[in-house]
Amino acid sequence: MVTKKITIKIPTGLEARPVAILVQVASQYESAIYVECEEKKVNAKSIMGMMSLGLAAGEEVIVSASGADEEEAMENIEKYLSSK
């Protein structure tokens, strides 16, 4: 399992379209991927779960991935969340 603290740099934060893209990125991998913010932990492959976090630009989240392709999954999710 890999865990990383990532700051969201997407200017609009995670509203509908960026969440949909994040779910698509996460869904490419076999690994279980979770995003945690404050007391909430949701499956990164769940569009409704991700929307429920209501994340804004500049917020920090903890992303964890566990599975055969966890390193690659973490790398690409970090790349997406850190894009401007």
- Measure CA 6 to chain center: 9
Q: 49 CB contacts (<8 Å, ≥6 apart)? A: 42, 43
For 43-62, what is the HEC assignment? ECCCHHHHHHHCCCCCCEEE
pTM of the model: 0.94
pLDDT of 84 reads 76
What is the pLDDT at residue 45? 98
Number of domains present in the structure of the chain = 1
CATH, residue 76: 3.30.1340.10
Residues of the chain with pLDDT under 50: none
Q: Which domain holds residue 33?
A: 2-81
The residue type of 16 is A
Which DSSP category does 9 fall into?
Answer: -
